[in-house]
């Protein structure tokens, strides 16, 4: 699995790459130097919307220039830049907020952590041991599935 580091303009993209299972570092306070140091230390592919920065690093670093404004098109740019489609079983294995790998949460433990309606209607739960967020299948999972299908369709038709 390729690992990524996104610049401060790519918060929404980073969130979606994590949902699709890609290890993506992001901070809205990073400057260029910090982003570059982090990417080098952990052999990450840099994602950037900054033309000048991209020109500066593209000779020496693995970097993908993100041109589009919409995050759906941006995901497509990342997938073609990496030439890699994240496998379906990787979806929802990372926290979309902090990138930490998710752990399964047994149903009986989920009861105290989610709204009553969610507990009654959902079967599978997961949680992030770093930020404490609880996840369940539902709207987001449906969106991730649709997103994957769209990516596969677009990649196949190129
Ligand atoms: Zn988290």
Instruction: Please give the angle made by the CA atoms of 94, 61 and 8, to the nearest 5 degrees.
Output: 50
Q: Are residues 75 and 120 in the same domain?
A: no
Of 35, 58, 89, which residue is a domain's last? 89
CA of 25 to the centre of ligand 1 (A): 12
CA of 76 to the centre of ligand 1 (A): 25
Q: Are residues 85 and 101 in the same domain?
A: no
Of 89, 121, 142, which residue is a domain's last? 89
Calpha distance 52→56 (Å, rounded) = 6
CA of 48 to the centre of ligand 1 (A): 23
Q: Are residues 128 and 151 in the same domain?
A: yes
Residue 148 is predicted with a pLDDT of: 78
CA of 129 to the centre of ligand 1 (A): 7
Q: Are residues 137 and 62 in the same domain?
A: no
CA of 131 to the centre of ligand 1 (A): 4
SS3 of residue 102 by DSSP: strand
Q: Quick check: 47 and 64 in contact, CB under 8 A?
A: yes
Residue 151 is predicted with a pLDDT of: 74
CA of 102 to the centre of ligand 1 (A): 8
Domain count across the chain: 2
pLDDT in tens, 102-154: 999 999 999 999 999 989 988 888 999 999 999 887 766 777 777 778 777 76
pLDDT in tens, 12-38: 999 999 999 999 999 999 999 999 999
Across the range 87-114, mean pLDDT stands at 91
Domain of 133? 95-157
């Amino acid at each position: 699995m390729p690992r990524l580091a996104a610049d401060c303009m790519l918060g929404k993209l980073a969130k979606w790459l994590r949902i699709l299972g890609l290890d993506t570092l992001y901070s809205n306070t990073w400057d260029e130097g910090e982003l570059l140091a982090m990417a080098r230390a952990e052999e990450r592919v840099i994602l950037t919307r900054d033309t000048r920065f991209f020109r500066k690093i593209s000779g020496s670093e693995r970097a993908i220039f993100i041109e589009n404004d919409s995050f759906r098109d941006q995901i497509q740019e990342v997938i073609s830049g990496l030439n890699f489609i994240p496998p379906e079983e990787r979806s929802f294995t990372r926290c979309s907020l902090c990138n930490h790998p998710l752990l399964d949460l047994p149903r009986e433990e989920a009861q105290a952590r989610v709204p009553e309606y969610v507990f009654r209607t959902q079967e599978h739960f997961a949680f992030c041991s770093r930020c404490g967020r609880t996840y369940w299948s539902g709207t987001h999972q449906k969106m991730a599935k649709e997103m994957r299908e769209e990516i596969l369709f677009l990649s196949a038709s190129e």
